[in-house]
C-alpha cells in the first residue's frame, strides 16, 4: 500500500506515504495555535506505538513531524494543563507521562525528523529534540526556544536532558535560563537544527535527510566537548552561570536557580536519572506560589491582546500610515515605533531644530539595534529615512492615525486639534499622548470627537511595553478597537482605561512617589527608602525613578492630581523645594542624586542633603515598604470603585508593564490579596492615626472587601 491515512485522530494527522509516516500537528486549523494538550499527547502516543509495531514487519522506514498551521509548529505544552494539576505528585506524574511519550519517539529504531516552520517553543521543541534530526524553515516566524523559565518553571518533557546533549551545556544553559528564542539560522549555528530550507521545500528535503548519514562533528566541536566534559570545567561553567543569573534576577526568582541545580546534577548522567530529576524539579516549581503568579501574569498579558472594550462588530480599520505631532522625546519615540513597523510616519513640528530633536531620538533607538547587530545599517537607513519631516500639514490627508505629542498644555493641544482636523480625512483617528490632561476636555475641541482618544505611551517608548488607551463618552467603539489592535501589532501591551486624572498608572504611582518624599522629611534616608523599594523587587527606588521621569514632570502631574483628587494626593512640599532649586532630574544632571556627563550617578545632590531632615531615624525595611505600598493599594481600590478599569488584573498588568512592579509578586493587588485585605486595612488604620489621616484614609472599596471577606481577585 503506497498511501494510507488514518482518521482516528482529532488533533493530529497521521498518514503513511511510500513507507514514510507523516505526523502533522494543528490539524484543527480553527484553533489559534497548536499546543500539546492532553488529547494531542494521547493521540501522539497511540501513533508512535502503532509505528513501533509496524516496524516489525518493516512497513515504515521513517517518521516526519510537521505542522498544518501556518507560522506555528507547536506553541508548547498547554499551560492550562499545569493549572489542572493539584499536587507535586500529580505534577511529577504529568511530567513523566510526557517524558515517556518522547522517549518512545527517541527510541524508535527509525530515522525521525521534525520539520519546523514557525513557532516551536517549550514542549514543541522538546518533542523536536526527541527526533534524530531537526530541519527548520527560513520563514521570519520560525523561532525555537524553551521559555518555561519565564513562567517560573522549567522544561519538563526532557528538554533539560536533551538540549545540553544536542548543543552543549553552555549554550543550553543560555537558552533554558533566559527563555530566549532563536531563529532558524542561529539554531543551525548552535547545532540545534541540521539545515535551513524555504518552508515549501521542508518536507521534500526531509525525505533526503531521512537517509542521509549524520555528519561527523568537526574537530573543533570535539575538542570543545572534551573540554567541557570534565569535572573542573563543568564546575566553572556552572559557577559563572550562577553568578550571571544572580546578577540578573537579584535572587528574586526561583526557577533559574533550580534549573542550574538540576543541570549540574544531571550532567553526564543516564537518561532515566536525568528525566526523573527533571520531573521532580518541574513539580516543585510548578506548585510554587511564584510560578502560579507568573503564569497568571502570562494569562493577563494574553488577555490584554483580546479586545474587550466597548462592543463593536465591525473589523478594525487598517492603520498603515501614521503622523506624529510634536518631535520631542515622546514624539521622536513614537515616530520611531511607527517607522519600525512600516508606517512611514510624517513627523510634524514647527521648527527644523525641533524636527532634528525627534530624528535624533528615533535614530538613537534604531542605533541601539544596529549596535547589537539586530538590525543592518541598510535597514536602519531605510527605516529612519521613512520618517518624513514636515513643518506644514502635507501628508495628513493620507494618514490613518495621528498621535499628538506636543507640550502638555490644554489650550495649545485644543488649538492644535482644531487645526489638524481641517487637514484629515473623515476616518482618520487622532490620539493624544497626554499623560495627565483630561481626554474628555480635549475631545471637545473636535468637530467629530468620536475619532479621538488618549493613547498614553510611557517614557522611554522603546523600553516600556505598556500603552494606556484612554476612552471618553463620545469615542467610537470602532476607534477603540482599531487602536487596540494596532497596539498589539506594534508589540505593546494595551490597557483600556476610562478618562480620569492620571488615568491608571500615574495615578497609582503618584502616592508612592509622594510618600517617599514624606518619609525623607520624617528622617528616613534616601538610600534606605530606595533600598527598601529595591528589596521589594522594584527596578529602581522612588527617588531614582523621580530623577528618571523628571522632577518638573513629577511636580506638574502631582499638582494636577492633588487638584483633582484632593488632600490624599497632596505632594510633599520638599519636592517643590528641590524643583525650585533647579534640579530637574537626570536630564539636568541634578535631581535627588547627582549625575556626571554620561548620566552616571555619582552621589547625592547637596541641596537635598542640606535641606533635608536634621536628624535621621532608622525604620525597618518592611515598614518603609508598607508606607510606600499602602497608599498605592488604596488608590487602586478607589480606581476599581470608580470603574476606571474593569478588574484587579488590569491594575496589576498596568503596574507591571508600566512601572516595572516585580512580576514575581504577581502585581500590587495580587500581593495585597496574598497579605490579606483585613491586614492591609489594619495597617492603613494604624498609619492613619500615626502618620496622616488624609493619605492613609481607607477607602470604602477596601472596607467592603473586608466586610464581604473578599479579595481583589474575587470580585
Partner 1 sequence: MNDVFIVDANRTPQAKAGLDFKNVAAPFLGIPLLRHIMDKVEIPDDGIDEVIIGNIGTPAKYPNISRVIALDAGLHEKTSAYTVNRNCASGMEAVSQGFLKIKTGRASVVLAGGVESMSQMPLIFNRDMTELFSKLMSAKTLPDRIKALAAFRPYYLSPVIAIEQGLTDPFSGLNMGQTAELLARELNITREEQDIFANESHKKATIAWESNRIADEVVPIIAGSKLEKLITKDIGYRSNSSVEGLAKMKPYFDKKSGTVTVGNSCPITDGGSMLLLANEESVKKYNLRPMAKVIDYFFGGLAPERMGMGPLIAMNGLLERTAKKIEDVDLFEINEAFAAQVLAVLRGMKDGKVASRFGINRVWGEIPYEKLNVNGGAIALGHPVGSTGSRLICSLAHELRRRRGKYGVASLCIGGGQGGAVLIENLL
Sites of contact with partner 1 (CB under 8 A): 344, 346, 352, 355-356, 359-360, 363-364, 367, 380-382, 384-385, 387-390, 394-395, 397-398
Residues 229 and 223: their CA atoms lie apart, in Å, by 10
Nearest to partner 1 of 185, 377 (CB atom)? 377
Cα dist from 100 to 74, 103, 279, 560, whole Å: 19, 5, 11, 61
Nearest approach, Cβ of residue 422 and partner 1 (Å): 15
Cα dist from 282 to 97, 258, 270, whole Å: 13, 9, 18
Beta strand 20-25 with 13-17: parallel, antiparallel or unpaired?
antiparallel
Per-residue three-class SS string for 532-568: HHHHHCCCCCHHHHHHHHCHHHHHHHHHHHHHHHCHH
Nearest to partner 1 of 151, 354 (CB atom)? 354
Nearest approach, Cβ of residue 385 and partner 1 (Å): 6
Angle at 279 between CA 184 and CA 169, to 5 degrees: 45
Nearest to partner 1 of 28, 389 (CB atom)? 389
Pull the grid cell for residue 5: 491515512
What is the DSSP-derived secondary structure letter of residue 715?
-
511 alpha-carbon distance from chain centroid: 25
Residues 490 and 315: their CA atoms lie apart, in Å, by 18
Nearest approach, Cβ of residue 353 and partner 1 (Å): 9
Pull the grid cell for residue 549: 521621569
Nearest to partner 1 of 2, 598 (CB atom)? 598
Nearest approach, Cβ of residue 352 and partner 1 (Å): 5
Catalytic residue among 148, 468, 515, 635: 468
Q: Name residue 15's beta-bridge partners.
A: 5, 22
Nearest approach, Cβ of residue 482 and partner 1 (Å): 21
Q: Mapping DSSP to helix (H, G, I), strand (E, B) and coil, where does residue 455 land?
A: strand
DSSP 412-438: HHHHHHHHHGGGS-TT-EEEE--SSS-
Beta strand 493-498 with 466-471: parallel, antiparallel or unpaired?
parallel
Peptide bond into 460 cis (omega under 30): yes
Cα dist from 684 to 149, 450, 655, 692, whole Å: 36, 41, 21, 10
Nearest to partner 1 of 280, 379 (CB atom)? 379
- To the query of whether residue 43 is one of the catalytic residues in this protein, the response is no
Extended strands (E) in 502-549:
none
239 alpha-carbon distance from chain centroid: 28
Residues 345 and 96: their CA atoms lie apart, in Å, by 52
Contact between residue 170 and residue 260 where contact means Cβ atoms under 8 Å apart: no
Cα dist from 75 to 144, 211, 314, 494, 510, whole Å: 10, 29, 29, 23, 39
Nearest to partner 1 of 399, 668 (CB atom)? 399
Nearest approach, Cβ of residue 314 and partner 1 (Å): 23
Q: Work out the angle between the directed axes of helices 648-659 and 289-304 (0-180°, nearest 10).
A: 90
Nearest approach, Cβ of residue 421 and partner 1 (Å): 17
| Residues annotated as catalytic (active site), given as ranges | 468
Amino acid at each position: 500500500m503506497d498511501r494510507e491515512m488514518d482518521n482516528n485522530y482529532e488533533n493530529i494527522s497521521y498518514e503513511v506515504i511510500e513507507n514514510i509516516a507523516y505526523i502533522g500537528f494543528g490539524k484543527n486549523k480553527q484553533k489559534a495555535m497548536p499546543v500539546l494538550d492532553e488529547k494531542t499527547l494521547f493521540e501522539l502516543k497511540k501513533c508512535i506505538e502503532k509505528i513501533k509495531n509496524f516496524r516489525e514487519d518493516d512497513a515504515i522506514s521513517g517518521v516526519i513531524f510537521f505542522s498544518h498551521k501556518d507560522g506555528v509548529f507547536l506553541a508548547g505544552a498547554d499551560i492550562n494543563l499545569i493549572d489542572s494539576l493539584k499536587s507535586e505528585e500529580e505534577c511529577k506524574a504529568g511530567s513523566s507521562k510526557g517524558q515517556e511519550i518522547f522517549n518512545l519517539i527517541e527510541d524508535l529504531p527509525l530515522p525521525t525528523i521534525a520539520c519546523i516552520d514557525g513557532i516551536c517553543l517549550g514542549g514543541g521543541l522538546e518533542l523536536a529534540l526527541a527526533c534524530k534530526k531537526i530541519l527548520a524553515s527560513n520563514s521570519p516566524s520560525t523561532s525555537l526556544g524553551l521559555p518555561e523559565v519565564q513562567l517560573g518553571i522549567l522544561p519538563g518533557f526532557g528538554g533539560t536532558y536533551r538540549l545540553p546533549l544536542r548543543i552543549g551545556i553552555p549554550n543550553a544553559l543560555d537558552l533554558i535560563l533566559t527563555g530566549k528564542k532563536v531563529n532558524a539560522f542561529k539554531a543551525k549555528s548552535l547545532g540545534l537544527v541540521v539545515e535551513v530550507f524555504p518552508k515549501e521545500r521542508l518536507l521534500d528535503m526531509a525525505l533526503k535527510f531521512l537517509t542521509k548519514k549524520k555528519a561527523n562533528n568537526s574537530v573543533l566541536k570535539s575538542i570543545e566537548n572534551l573540554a567541557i566534559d570534565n569535572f573542573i570545567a563543568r564546575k566553572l561553567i556552572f559557577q559563572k552561570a550562577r553568578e550571571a543569573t544572580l546578577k540578573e534576577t537579584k535572587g528574586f526568582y526561583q526557577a533559574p536557580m533550580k534549573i542550574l541545580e538540576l543541570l549540574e546534577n544531571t550532567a553526564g548522567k543516564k537518561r532515566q536519572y536525568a528525566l526523573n530529576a527533571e520531573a521532580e524539579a518541574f513539580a516543585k516549581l510548578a506548585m510554587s506560589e511564584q510560578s502560579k503568579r507568573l503564569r497568571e501574569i502570562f494569562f493577563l498579558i494574553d488577555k490584554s491582546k483580546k479586545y474587550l472594550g466597548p462592543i463593536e462588530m465591525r473589523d478594525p480599520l487598517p492603520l498603515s500610515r501614521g503622523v506624529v505631532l510634536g518631535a520631542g522625546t515622546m514624539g521622536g519615540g513614537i515616530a520611531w515605533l511607527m517607522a519600525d513597523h512600516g508606517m512611514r510616519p510624517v513627523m510634524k513640528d514647527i521648527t527644523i531644530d525641533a524636527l532634528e530633536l525627534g530624528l535624533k531620538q528615533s535614530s538613537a533607538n534604531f542605533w541601539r539595534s544596529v549596535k547589537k547587530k539586530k538590525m543592518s545599517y541598510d535597514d536602519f537607513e531605510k527605516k529612519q529615512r521613512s520618517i518624513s519631516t514636515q513643518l506644514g500639514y502635507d501628508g495628513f490627508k493620507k494618514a490613518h492615525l495621528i498621535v499628538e505629542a506636543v507640550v502638555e498644555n490644554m489650550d495649545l493641544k485644543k488649538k492644535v486639534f482644531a487645526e489638524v482636523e481641517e487637514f484629515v480625512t473623515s476616518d482618520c483617528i487622532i490620539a493624544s499622548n497626554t499623560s495627565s490632561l483630561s481626554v474628555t476636555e480635549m475631545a471637545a475641541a473636535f468637530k467629530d470627537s468620536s475619532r479621538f482618544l488618549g493613547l498614553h505611551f510611557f517614557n522611554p517608548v522603546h523600553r516600556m511595553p505598556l500603552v494606556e488607551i484612554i476612552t471618553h463618552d463620545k469615542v467610537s467603539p470602532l476607534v477603540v478597537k482599531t487602536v487596540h489592535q494596532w497596539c498589539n501589532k506594534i508589540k505593546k501591551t494595551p490597557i483600556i482605561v476610562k478618562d480620569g486624572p492620571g488615568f491608571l498608572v500615574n495615578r497609582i504611582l503618584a502616592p508612592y512617589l509622594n510618600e517617599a518624599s514624606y518619609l525623607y522629611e520624617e528622617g528616613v534616608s534616601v538610600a534606605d527608602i530606595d533600598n527598601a523599594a529595591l528589596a521589594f523587587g522594584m527596578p529602581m527606588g522612588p527617588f531614582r525613578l523621580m530623577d528618571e521621569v523628571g522632577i518638573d514632570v513629577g511636580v506638574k502631574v502631582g499638582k494636577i492630581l492633588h487638584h483633582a483628587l484632593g488632600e490624599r494626593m497632596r505632594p510633599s512640599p520638599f519636592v517643590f523645594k528641590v524643583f525650585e532649586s533647579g534640579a530637574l532630574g537626570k536630564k539636568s544632571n541634578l535631581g535627588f542624586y547627582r549625575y556626571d556627563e554620561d548620566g552616571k550617578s555619582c552621589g547625592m545632590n547637596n541641596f537635598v542633603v542640606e535641606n533635608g531632615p536634621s536628624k535621621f531615624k532608622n525604620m525597618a525595611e518592611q515598614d518603609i515598604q508598607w508606607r510606600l505600598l499602602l497608599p498605592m493599594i488604596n488608590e487602586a481600590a478607589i480606581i476599581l470603585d470608580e470603574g476606571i478599569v474593569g478588574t484587579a488584573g488590569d491594575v496589576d498588568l498596568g503596574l507591571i508593564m508600566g512601572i516595572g512592579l516585580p512580576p514575581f509578586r504577581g502585581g500590587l493587588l495580587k500581593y495585597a490579596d496574598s497579605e490579606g485585605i483585613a491586614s492591609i486595612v489594619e495597617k492603613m488604620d494604624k498609619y492613619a492615626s500615626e502618620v496622616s489621616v488624609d493619605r492613609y484614609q481607607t477607602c470604602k472599596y477596601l472596607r467592603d472587601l473586608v466586610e464581604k471577606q473578599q479579595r481583589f481577585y474575587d470580585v
